[in-house]
Amino acid sequence: MKKIASLVTVLVIMTVGLFAQTEPDPAVQEAKEETAVVYDLGRFFGYVHGMTTENPKLALTDDQKSEIREIMDRIKGMKRVEPAWAEETLEYLELDLLSPAQLMEVDRRAIEWQNSRETSSTAGTGAGSGTGPISSYLAGGPFNPIIDETKTIGQGFAALYKYLD
C-alpha cells in the first residue's frame, strides 16, 4: 500500500511539474503582445524590399526612398525600440508614405507571411523567436530585433537598407 501511495505522490508531483513548465508566464505573454508592433515594423522593411525588387511598377519614388532611409537610419541608432514609437512610425509609413497600390502589396505580403506562420505553427514547428529579446525588453534593456541580421526580420531590413544606398 505504501508503494502505491508513493507512486501516486511521485506521479502527482511530476504532473504538477510538467504543468508548471508549460504554463506561459503572463508577463512574457503581455510583453510579446506589446512588442508585436515592433516586429511588424521590422517585417515592413522586408516586404517593401521584396515589393520594390520584384515589381517595378510599385518601385519607391525618390522621396519615399529618402523618408524610409531616414527612418531606417534612426532605427539603426536605437538600442531600444519602444512599441508606441514603432506603432506611430508604421502607421506613418503605411498610411502617409506608401501609395494605395504599394500598401495593398505590402498588406498582401503580410497576410501571406501570417498564413505561412499559422501553417507552420499548426505543423508543430512553431514560428516563435524564443524569449531572449523579450527578456531584455522586460528587464528594460536593449530591444531592437529589427536590426538582428541573424533573423529574417533583420535580413529584410538589411536588404532594403543596402538597396536604398
pLDDT higher than 50, residue 127: no
Strand partners, 80: 143
Helices 26-54, 152-164: crossing angle, 10 deg rounding: 40
pLDDT higher than 50, residue 124: no
0.95 surpassed by pTM:
no
Scan for cell 508585436, then name that residue: 36
Burial class for 148, CB neighbours closer than 10 Å (0-12, 13-18, 19+): middle
The residues spanned by each domain of the chain are 26-164
pLDDT at site 132: 85
pLDDT in tens, 104-117: 999 999 999 999 88
Burial class for 110, CB neighbours closer than 10 Å (0-12, 13-18, 19+): middle
Average pLDDT in the chain: 87
